[in-house]
Amino acid sequence: MKYTQLGRTGLKVSRLVLGTMNFGPQTDEADSHAIMDAALDAGINFFDTANVYGWGENKGRTESIIGNWFAKGGDRRDKVVLATKVYANMAADGQAAWPNHDKLSALNIRRAVDASLKRLQTDHIDLYQFHHIDRDTPFEEIWQAIDTLVQQGKILYAGSSNFPGYKIAQANEIAARRGGTIGLVSEQCLYNLAERRAEMEVIPAAQDYGLGVIPWSPLHGGLLGGIIKKEVQGGRRASGRAADTLKDPAARAQVQAYEDLVDKHGLQPGEVALAWLLTRPGVTGPIVGPRTADQLESALRAIELDLNEDLLSGLDEVFPGPGPSPEAFAW
């Protein structure tokens, strides 16, 4: 495994991040524990989750699965850089949130972190991430709550997720004015070959403020994992974001061109998509969310891939980025 610093911090993390969103909804607890053991054995030390994972009637279930794994001992907790998130309504789907039981008020942050700590069976969270911007809560209040949690030893660092560039700047400028607050150290955003809009504002802001970039959905919901070839061979069919994209003939042709290019180089589409992200400036490591041990093995192979210039140029031709900001939209 290869490691890097998380943004401007001294925290060393693996260049693949184990995403746990499937633990509970799609992968049972025993298999989830096996995947976490395999990830740790492979050197992955950065695990990402969220308080809402488990979904539906089972929000919080994923954190509980991880907590039960930590409880097995064997230095599991000590070896893991643990990241979770706060923002979501924890009520069951279809039920309204009780006032102050969601978003980023100081009251909900305090309540949510204690609930996550209990489910995770740990005394601290290494990276506590804001899952979305809160348009109603000022950053002065958010940072006051975070500073208190840091002083109490309940969290070590704070990060953002799904933030636009200007909110990353605003959050860290207010943190700097307050003094004594390190501010955001990471941004978890949607970023992959097929979805490169983050290159316009989010990633430049993250780089300027020293945030590590943690891309989620690196295969764009399976779209970049060889989905057309799998369909032809009678395998898993596209669903969700991938299925919606493939309804567009132009987008389907683009994905086919991608699969053809990767096949020409004798590589696997999913592994190339991950390896490409590892070449991108500012990227700490993509989040991989395996449902099975085999999917984890495939992701691990991406670490060793060395994409040559011919392939990188071809990828840019198939999936051109937006270009630098502001020229991408101003000229």
* CB-CB neighbours of 198 under 10 Å: 25
Rounded distance between C-alpha atoms, residue 225 and residue 212, angstroms: 25
Rounded distance between C-alpha atoms, residue 11 and residue 3, angstroms: 10
The reply to whether omega before 326 is within 30° of 0 (cis) is yes
| 3-class secondary-structure state, position 307 | coil
Rounded distance between C-alpha atoms, residue 131 and residue 85, angstroms: 6
Rounded distance between C-alpha atoms, residue 93 and residue 98, angstroms: 13
pLDDT at position 229: 92
Q: What is the pTM of this model?
A: 0.96
Phi, psi of 195, rounded to the nearest 5 degrees: -135, 90
Active site residue 166: no
- Per DSSP, 96 falls in state P
Chain Cα centroid distance, residue 168: 16
Chain Cα centroid distance, residue 131: 10
pLDDT at position 97: 86
* CB-CB neighbours of 51 under 10 Å: 22
Q: What share of the chain is helix, strand, coil (3-state, %, to 5)?
A: 45, 15, 40
pLDDT at position 241: 79
Chain Cα centroid distance, residue 63: 15
Phi, psi of 327, rounded to the nearest 5 degrees: -60, -30
Active-site choice (53, 87, 209, 258)? 53
pLDDT per residue as tens, the chain (331 positions):
999 999 999 999 999 999 999 999 999 999 999 999 999 999 999 999 999 999 999 999 999 999 999 999 999 999 999 999 999 999 999 888 899 999 999 999 999 999 999 999 999 999 999 999 999 999 999 999 999 999 999 999 999 999 999 999 999 999 999 998 899 999 999 999 999 999 999 999 999 999 999 999 999 999 999 999 988 887 667 777 788 899 999 999 999 999 999 999 999 999 999 999 999 999 999 999 999 999 999 999 999 999 999 999 999 999 999 998 899 988 7
Q: How are beta strands 12-14 and 287-288 bridged, if at all?
A: unpaired
pLDDT at position 235: 65
Q: Residue 150: which H helix or E strand, with range?
A: helix 139-152
pLDDT at position 231: 87
pLDDT at position 94: 86
Residue pointed to by tokens 């539906």: 56
pLDDT at position 32: 98
Phi, psi of 267, rounded to the nearest 5 degrees: -120, 170
